[in-house]
Chains A and B, each alone.
Chain A
Amino acid sequence: MTVALKAVYTIWLRDVIRFYREKTRIVGMLGQPLLYLLIIGTGLSYSFRMPWAQGELSYLEFMYPGIIGMSVLFTSVFSAVSIVWDREFGFLREVLVAPVPRWSVAIGKALGGSTIAMLQASILILVAPFIGVKLGPAMVLKLLGMLFLIAFSLTSLGITVASRMETMEGFQMIMNFLVMPLFFLSGAMFPLRSVPPWMETLMRADPLTYGVDALRHIMYAGTPARELAVQFPLATDLAVVSGMSLIFITAGTLAFNKTE
């Protein structure tokens, strides 16, 4: 067991060191959400009235937790998909011949991806004052915990998908048919209440919807904006995201066990 835990730690540590080394990756992954926030957020807030918000919630405030969710989504899936490269050309091959159980590799990878996603999201949290969102220390801790949970479930989902991928050619497919729909349907940019029923069904099936919803719960706790911004009870959000984490990490581990 200690061997397996040590392996989990090793794989996690390697991901974190690599992230820290790649400054350009950090900049790129931060730049994207900031661009979304700045350009789409500002642009839409002028034409998107949100009559239901009754002036209590600006569009930027509504979208901000969604953009943090987006950043977590992108980072998690990207770091999971990197295992395709690793398997083909390097480190993962080394890991797969080591005397460690396969599941420790999947879990180490999921934790590594989640940590990185959480670190990036926490930088985005620093923008809060500029959006007009006030956050206390307790709130920030709650947010980080929630972000970790979201990141863990999404990285695990990414691992499940990536373990079936043979080459990076499939990457574009993942972007178009997994990552972007997950983002658009998550309620990050528009709420569930204003869409047609078929779309609402899809949005309800998107795990990220509950993640973003939970972020809104925490961020706007105790303000009148909260009731307007959220769609589900916090307990539902937590249950769904935790359930997803469990399901996806199990699926990811099983998929990983199967490779060769």
Chain B
Amino acid sequence: MPTAQIALTAMVNGLAIGLLLFITAAGLSLIFGMMDVLNLAHGALFLTGAYLAWWIGGEQQTWPSLGRAVVAVVVFGAAAGGLLSLLTAPLSRRSHLEQALLTLGIALVAADVLSALFGDDVRATEPPAGLAGTVTVAGWSYPSYRLALVGVAALLAAAVYWTVERTSLGALFRATVGDRDMVAAVGVDPRLVRGGVFVLGSVLATLAGLLGAPIYHARPGLDTTILVLALVVVVVGGLGSIRGPLIAALLFGQVESVGRAVLPGLASFLLFGTLAAVLVVRPRGLFTLAPGGRR
């Protein structure tokens, strides 16, 4: 394969990974930024989405099974988000360490339950007919599913971005990031905002797991891998922001994919090296607000 085609493949792969990471990390960023809750169970939601895709669709998905899986992950994500909101509410004014211990405990329990239910083997699932092959354009071949993933994930990312930046619901989210007490002082029940953010963030994580299932395959340990990547994206992008994680996710998608193609032995060093470099230059992340609202 010519070098240009290898590079193009790596870059589109990076775009797909980046958008998937953004959908996962957006929820984590909102939950941390708005509610000040460090949710280490976020990776378990992604993994559950991936397992549900395999459990409902089997090794070879069909369009009807994919539709059922979408409904299932949305319902599960909403229920899990509501439950996480209730479980973490008593610790809302406590330290991050206490919140991290609680959500880490939930993540460990979730991982054990998933292992007990689905076993320790890799649960690979293939996309439905029509998305299983490759698309060839001007001699360049690329897996159809990954191309579709770029489209769907881009639509989801755009919807999240538009909701947060352009709607009154998003204004409420951003106001809560800015000053929760003042949101309550204009009459908004903070418990509803909290529940809504947890539900939205969790649904995004389980949906990302469903979309990522044919690429990453459901398996023990995937939750931790995804959680670490999402945390990197959130820390670099800036807590409580949407634009920051989007840019950071797209950056890390390219570092991960192009890095693996160009320097396969150094890919993970490149990832965390980039993290360190960004944090040296911008210790508060790319888009964390400074006092007074300056970026």
The yes or no verdict on A and B being binding partners is: no
